[in-house]
């Protein structure tokens, strides 16, 4: 039986699945073969498209003349599929339901091209098995962080004022959008697990089960963030020591009940001993002890524990120059390599600090060959404009995924999974800034194929989101999005130094906002120079955490790439970059350029009026006003700050304050 396609709630944007995107497929004759729940999903999709565009669909019929065959020939867990076109017929074959689903969306993505010419058989299979979104959603509104921590897209898609939403149709729509870009897992609550959220694990598991039901038809497994202290806060025990038999039994029982409610539950996500969250350190145990206890509870059911490596001292004394936050994850976890259970995955932020606009790839990635690894990126734009600024992160993620930690294997091949902190919420456009949808879509596609050209992925997003777009619109969208990350970098913190944001909410400039704070995020600017000496010779030794060749490349200012210079070195303002500019002149120039580029992008967007639906056009135009205002503020604060510190005038005589 076909499963009806979820109904887009009134006023909600269809994102990259507008009805017209299904025209090529929906106007043809399709034959579907095989059975299973995901085949029913695909059948529902094709039936809906055909009802709209006049095609036809048959199931398990004899091979009558048809244009498209979607065939499932097994019942395994494979997500792979083959596609080919011969003798006027396009064929997609899979041995698992998920493969058929992804094969279907592949045909949708190709559009008319799926039905043209001949195509030899191609096998498509995801490089990364886990392609996951972590929602930092609170179930109850948190007094400081609101409903969604670092959420810039309205409320939560899942939760509202302390409960799961009554109507989960939109969650079904969300699952469909995620499947269409290859995402297969979701964690439904914040890694900072507060009191109400803790209870999702036990008395509120029914709420989680309803969400899992809504996501399952699109091949998405559901995960839960849990607090390490659950045996105390929920179980009434006096300890959460991972080696205590009562604690282990408590987790076993709780996990058994979770699987009773959700038989295909994905597993737990844990932020432990991080920014004040409880963890195994309180009991003198290691993070492997902590993770392995949960892994043992999940193992009988095939579940996985995802253990975050974001562990550092957030109560540092800024006077203490020997502690370097960038070192922390490596120092904590590398000694534990090989100790984690088979079904434990260490989830590592892509950079050593915290989702800044520019960071090196974390040296932990590649340094734990005997540990399963997932790389975490941030689609929610906490430090990249908070979805008020256009900042397409595809190129940044792609650079990280293509980085070769030891000069050989790429990050994208070392990891089991790619995880993004979600940028989606209850906003009618899903992502606050309508163009931030491109980040969510690009994330999914890069998780499937880390080596994909992000610009080609963006092109797919454009052509799906704006079907029949004239070339002027396609070109305009590329002009606005392609270089937007580098533009953002130009007008914010320079040369990899990071932060310089307003404390707390992290929006807008405050050069010294975190300079004398306990968070370990300093730039050390003085009258002579700026940057953090992380060399082995004279600094914190962080550069030596890398394997060759990177330890050497980063060790010296003469070989360190310009864009990371101030991350690794403290240099004088007159230091000459590889670009041929001094550091101070680079700061001035990039900040003026960044603002000019925002102004130019705003003009391009204005010129697209009439080619984009009015509501979307207006929303983006409005955000461009704010982006330009904010970019000017960044430019003037950063430039004036460094002018005042250094006393060096701009060689082009522009106004500094
Ligand atoms: O970037 C920081 C954020 C916190 C977040 C933390 C983390 C969920 O400012 O809001 O907490 O990272 O990744 O755990």
Lookup result for tokens 């048959």: 58
Domains, the chain, in order of start with CATH, read 19-124 (3.30.379.10), 130-451 (3.20.20.80), 489-532+570-646 (3.90.1330.10)
Residue 457 phi, psi dihedral angles, 5° rounding: -65, -40
The answer to whether the CB of 376 is under 6 A from ligand 1 is no
Q: How many CB atoms lie within 10 A of CB 338?
A: 10
Rounded to the nearest whole angstrom, what is the distance from the C-alpha of residue 320 to the centroid of ligand 1? 23
* Residue 476: strand, helix, or coil: helix
Rounded to the nearest whole angstrom, what is the distance from the C-alpha of residue 542 to the centroid of ligand 1? 22
Of ligand 1's listed atoms, the one at least distance from the Cα of 506 is: 9
Which residues of the chain fall short of a pLDDT of 70? 63
Compute the 3-state secondary structure of the chain and give helix, strand, coil in percent, each to the nearest 5. Answer: 40, 15, 45
Tens of pLDDT, residue by residue over 406-450, are: 877 999 999 999 999 999 999 999 999 999 999 999 999 999 999
The answer to whether the CB of 192 is under 6 A from ligand 1 is yes
Rounded to the nearest whole angstrom, what is the distance from the C-alpha of residue 378 to the centroid of ligand 1? 10
The answer to whether the CB of 136 is under 6 A from ligand 1 is yes
Rounded to the nearest whole angstrom, what is the distance from the C-alpha of residue 101 to the centroid of ligand 1? 33
Of ligand 1's listed atoms, the one at least distance from the Cα of 136 is: 8
pLDDT of residue 407: 73
CA distances from 568 to 511, 528, 530, 561, 562 (A): 18, 17, 11, 10, 10
Q: What is the full DSSP assignment across 417-454?
A: EEEEE----SSTTSSSSGGGHHHHHHHHHHHH-TTS-H
The answer to whether the CB of 71 is under 6 A from ligand 1 is no
CB 459 within 8 A of CB 470: no
Pick the residue whose CA is nearest to atom 2 on ligand 1. 354
Mutate to test the pocket of ligand 1, among 147, 187, 192 (most ligand atoms within 8 A of CB): 192
Mutate to test the pocket of ligand 1, among 133, 151, 225, 354 (most ligand atoms within 8 A of CB): 354
Q: What is the full DSSP assignment across 523-561?
A: ----SSEE-----TTTS-SGGGGSPTTHHHHHHSTTTS-
Torsion of CA 435, 148, 187, 234, to 10 degrees: 180
Mutate to test the pocket of ligand 1, among 382, 499, 521 (most ligand atoms within 8 A of CB): 382
Residue 564 phi, psi dihedral angles, 5° rounding: -115, 10
The answer to whether the CB of 191 is under 6 A from ligand 1 is yes
Rounded to the nearest whole angstrom, what is the distance from the C-alpha of residue 312 to the centroid of ligand 1? 12
d(CA 475, CA 383): 27
Pick the residue whose CA is nearest to atom 12 on ligand 1. 354
The answer to whether the CB of 591 is under 6 A from ligand 1 is no
Pick the residue whose CA is nearest to atom 11 on ligand 1. 192
CB 189 within 8 A of CB 145: no
Of ligand 1's listed atoms, the one at least distance from the Cα of 149 is: 10
The answer to whether the CB of 149 is under 6 A from ligand 1 is yes
The answer to whether the CB of 310 is under 6 A from ligand 1 is yes
* Residue 391: strand, helix, or coil: coil
Of ligand 1's listed atoms, the one at least distance from the Cα of 383 is: 1
Of ligand 1's listed atoms, the one at least distance from the Cα of 191 is: 8
Active site residues: 275, 354, 382
pLDDT of residue 63: 66
d(CA 316, CA 645): 25
For residue 168, whether the previous peptide bond is cis, meaning omega lies within 30 degrees of 0, is no
Lookup result for tokens 């038999």: 245
Residue-wise burial string across 303-320, b where 16 or more C-beta atoms lie within 10 A, e elsewhere: bbbbbbbbbbeeebebee
Rounded to the nearest whole angstrom, what is the distance from the C-alpha of residue 192 to the centroid of ligand 1? 8
d(CA 419, CA 186): 9
Of ligand 1's listed atoms, the one at least distance from the Cα of 150 is: 10
Lookup result for tokens 């010419």: 117
Pick the residue whose CA is nearest to atom 13 on ligand 1. 310
Rounded to the nearest whole angstrom, what is the distance from the C-alpha of residue 581 to the centroid of ligand 1? 35
Size of the chain, expressed as the number of residues it contains: 657
The answer to whether the CB of 23 is under 6 A from ligand 1 is no
Of ligand 1's listed atoms, the one at least distance from the Cα of 421 is: 13
Residue 324 phi, psi dihedral angles, 5° rounding: -130, 110
pLDDT of residue 60: 86
Of ligand 1's listed atoms, the one at least distance from the Cα of 271 is: 14
Pick the residue whose CA is nearest to atom 1 on ligand 1. 354
* Residue 604: strand, helix, or coil: helix
Residue 514 phi, psi dihedral angles, 5° rounding: -115, 20
The token pair that represents 596 in the structure block: 């000019």
Residue 33 phi, psi dihedral angles, 5° rounding: -125, 140
Task: Evaluate if pTM is beyond 0.85.
Answer: yes
The answer to whether the CB of 554 is under 6 A from ligand 1 is no
d(CA 633, CA 71): 56
Task: Give the closest residue to 33 by CA, choosing from 55, 63, 53.
Answer: 63
Helix axis angle for 245-261 and 287-298, nearest 10°, is 40
Rounded to the nearest whole angstrom, what is the distance from the C-alpha of residue 355 to the centroid of ligand 1? 9
């Amino acid at each position: 039986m076909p499963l009806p396609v979820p109904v887009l709630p009134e006023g909600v944007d269809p994102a990259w699945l507008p009805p017209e995107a299904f025209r090529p497929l929906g106007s043809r004759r399709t034959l579907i073969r095989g059975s299973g729940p995901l085949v029913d999903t695909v059948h529902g999709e094709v039936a809906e498209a055909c009802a709209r565009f006049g095609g036809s669909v048959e199931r398990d019929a004899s091979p009558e003349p048809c244009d498209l065959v979607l065939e499932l020939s097994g019942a395994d867990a494979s997500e792979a599929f083959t596609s080919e076109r011969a003798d006027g017929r396009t064929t997609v074959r899979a041995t698992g339901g998920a493969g058929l689903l992804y094969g279907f969306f592949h045909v949708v993505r190709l559009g008319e091209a799926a039905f043209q010419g001949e195509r030899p058989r191609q096998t498509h299979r995801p490089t990364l098995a886990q392609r996951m979104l972590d929602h930092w959603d609170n179930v109850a509104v948190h007094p400081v962080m609101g409903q969604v921590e670092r959420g810039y897209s309205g409320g939560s898609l899942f939760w509202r004022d302390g409960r799961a939403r009554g109507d989960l149709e939109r969650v079904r729509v969300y699952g469909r959008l995620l499947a269409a870009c290859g995402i297969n897992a979701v964690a439904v609550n914040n890694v900072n697990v507060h009191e109400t959220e803790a209870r999702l694990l036990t008395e509120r598991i029914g709420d989680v089960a309803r969400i899992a039901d809504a996501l399952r038809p699109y091949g998405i497994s559901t995960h839960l963030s849990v607090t390490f202290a659950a045996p105390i806060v929920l179980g009434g025990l006096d300890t959460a020591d991972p080696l205590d038999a009562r604690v282990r039994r408590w987790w076993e029982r709780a996990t058994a009940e979770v699987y009773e409610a959700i038989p295909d539950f994905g597993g737990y996500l844990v932020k432990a001993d991080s920014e004040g969250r409880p963890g195994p350190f309180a009991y003198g145990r290691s993070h492997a002890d902590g993770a392995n206890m949960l892994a043992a509870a999940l193992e009988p059911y095939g579940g996985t524990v995802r253990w975050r490596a974001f562990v550092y001292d957030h109560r540092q004394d800024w006077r203490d120059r020997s502690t370097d936050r960038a070192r922390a994850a490596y120092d904590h976890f590398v000694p534990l390599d090989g100790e984690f259970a088979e079904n434990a995955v260490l989830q590592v932020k892509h950079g050593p600090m915290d989702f800044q606009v520019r960071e090196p790839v974390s040296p932990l990635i590649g340094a734990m060959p005997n540990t399963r690894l997932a790389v975490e990126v941030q689609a929610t734009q906490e430090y990249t404009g908070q979805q008020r600024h256009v900042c397409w992160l595809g190129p940044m993620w792609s650079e990280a995924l293509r980085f070769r930690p030891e000069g050989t294997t790429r990050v994208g091949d070392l990891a089991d999974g790619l995880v993004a902190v979600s940028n989606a919420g209850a906003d009618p456009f899903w992502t606050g800034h309508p163009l931030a949808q491109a980040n969510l879509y690009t994330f999914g596609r890069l998780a499937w194929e880390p080596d994909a050209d992000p610009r080609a992925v963006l092109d797919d997003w454009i052509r799906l989101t704006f079907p029949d777009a004239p070339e002027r619109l396609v070109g305009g969208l590329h002009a606005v999005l392609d270089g937007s990350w580098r533009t953002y970098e130009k007008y914010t913190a320079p040369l990899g130094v990071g932060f310089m944001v307003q404390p707390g909410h992290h929006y807008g400039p405050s050069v010294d906002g975190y300079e004398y704070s306990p968070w370990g995020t300093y730039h050390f600017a003085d009258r002579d120079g700026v940057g953090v000496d992380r060399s082995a010779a004279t600094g914190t030794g962080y550069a030596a955490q890398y394997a060759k060749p990177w330890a050497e490349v980063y060790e010296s200012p003469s070989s360190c790439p310009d864009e990371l210079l101030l991350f690794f070195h403290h240099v004088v303002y007159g230091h000459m970059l590889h670009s041929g500019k001094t550091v101070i002149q680079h700061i001035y120039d990039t900040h003026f350029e960044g603002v000019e580029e925002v102004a130019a992008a705003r003009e391009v967007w204005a010129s697209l009026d009439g080619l984009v639906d009015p509501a979307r056009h207006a929303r983006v135009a409005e955000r461009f006003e704010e982006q330009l205002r904010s970019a000017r503020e960044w430019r003037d604060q950063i430039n004036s700050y460094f002018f005042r510190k250094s006393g060096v005038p701009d060689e082009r005589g522009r106004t500094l304050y």
